[in-house]
Structure 1
Amino acid sequence: MTEKATRQGSCLCGAVRYDVTGPLRDVISCHCGQCQKSSGHYFAATAATLENFRLTEDRGLKWYRSSNWAERGFCGECGANLFWRRKDSDQVSILAGSFEGDTGLKTSRHIFVADKKDYYEITDGLPQYDSYPDDPDSN
């Protein structure tokens, strides 16, 4: 997790804005089919506890239940993908590109690499996993 700081982020049109005060998890790049379908590529997301996360504008926020245990948050006005969360978690994953300015974050690993598309290679030398270690659907 990165140091305690306050960071702001938003969707493309500003109908969803948020603040995070506190540590953020390193970025994880997810190459699963759901992330591909919802973003057109793979997700690069960090995470914060709900305690440290605050919506400052939510007029455009929509949630889509993508499985029986998780949902994805996006802006219903501009369509920007922003969040991912498990129903039973005290954390929200935040797409790293939605933060304003530099983040100071580092990518730590790639998950669901068996599902990646054939038009790109992962060559950054970071650890690669075929699933997520605590994925409820992988048990």
Structure 2
Amino acid sequence: MSISRIFTGGCQCGAVRYRVEGTLADPHLCHCRMCQKAAGNYFLPLANAPRERISVTRGKPGWFKSSDIVRRGFCRDCGTPLFYEEQGSGHINVTLGSLDDPDDLRPAAQSGVESRVVWFSQLPKLPEHESNEGECGETRHVTIRDSNRQHPDYDTDHWPPEE
């Protein structure tokens, strides 16, 4: 499964932005232990595009060489994971959560399942709550909304906005 169009994305603070022209292929969840650590999460959602179709439109990502054949791109300011690049490959993976519209691509496969946390299949059975539910939820939600420093989910001429 893949979708051909223009995709944009970036980090949480807006210091690094990117653009993908064309297709994001092989949308998947990687459960390998390296991706878990790189994402600080139980899995890392990724999709790839030819290297020449991806451009950084703002800032410069930092890179960490996580093995002899893989490096991972991230924002040096806020730490958002952005890219996964395998040496010698003609493709770069982008993290699907860093897309401006992460609903654009639904994962079609899972990899690294040998490291998948054992209770992963039980997620749909967990209780669900909106962000503003719970003790002090509404006050907390309003405070976060009103003090949000996160870059919006679209390209801006400059960031942060001038006050």
TM > 0.5 fold call: yes
1:46 aligned counterpart, secondary structure = strand
| Deviation at residue 98 of structure 1 after TM alignment | 0.5
- In 2: Cα distance, 1:3 partner to 1:39 partner: 24
2:53 maps to what in 1? 52
| Deviation at residue 57 of structure 1 after TM alignment | 1.2
Structure-2 change in CA distance of 1:16 and 1:47 (3 Å): same
| Deviation at residue 19 of structure 1 after TM alignment | 0.5
TM-score computed with the length of structure 2 as normaliser = 0.69
* Structure number with larger C-alpha Rg: 2
After TM superposition, the structure 1 stretch with the greater mean CA deviation from structure 2, 72-81 or 93-102, is: 93-102
- In 2: Cα distance, 1:123 partner to 1:78 partner: 28
After TM superposition, the structure 1 stretch with the greater mean CA deviation from structure 2, 33-42 or 70-79, is: 33-42
1:36 aligns with 2:36: yes
- Percent of aligned positions that are identical: 32
Task: Please give the residue correspondences for 1:119-134 in structure 2 after superposition, counting only pairs within 5 Å.
Answer: 119-121=119-121
- In 1: Cα distance, 2:93 partner to 2:81 partner: 11
2:89 maps to what in 1? 89
1:106 maps to what in 2? 106
| Deviation at residue 37 of structure 1 after TM alignment | 1.0
- Structure 2 unmatched ranges of 5 or more: 125-163
Structure with the largest fraction of helix: 2
Specify the code of the residue in structure 1 equivalent to 2:18: Y
- In 2: Cα distance, 1:73 partner to 1:117 partner: 24
Specify the code of the residue in structure 2 equivalent to 1:48: A
- In 2: Cα distance, 1:24 partner to 1:99 partner: 11
Aligned pairs, number? 123
Structure-2 change in CA distance of 1:69 and 1:5 (3 Å): same
| Deviation at residue 99 of structure 1 after TM alignment | 0.7
Equivalent residues of 1:13, 1:78 under 8 A apart: yes
Structure-2 change in CA distance of 1:96 and 1:83 (3 Å): same
- In 2: Cα distance, 1:104 partner to 1:72 partner: 22
| Deviation at residue 69 of structure 1 after TM alignment | 0.6
Specify the code of the residue in structure 2 equivalent to 1:18: Y
Structure-2 change in CA distance of 1:84 and 1:15 (3 Å): same
1:116 aligns with 2:88: no
- In 2: Cα distance, 1:39 partner to 1:119 partner: 18
- Structure 1 unmatched ranges of 5 or more: 125-139
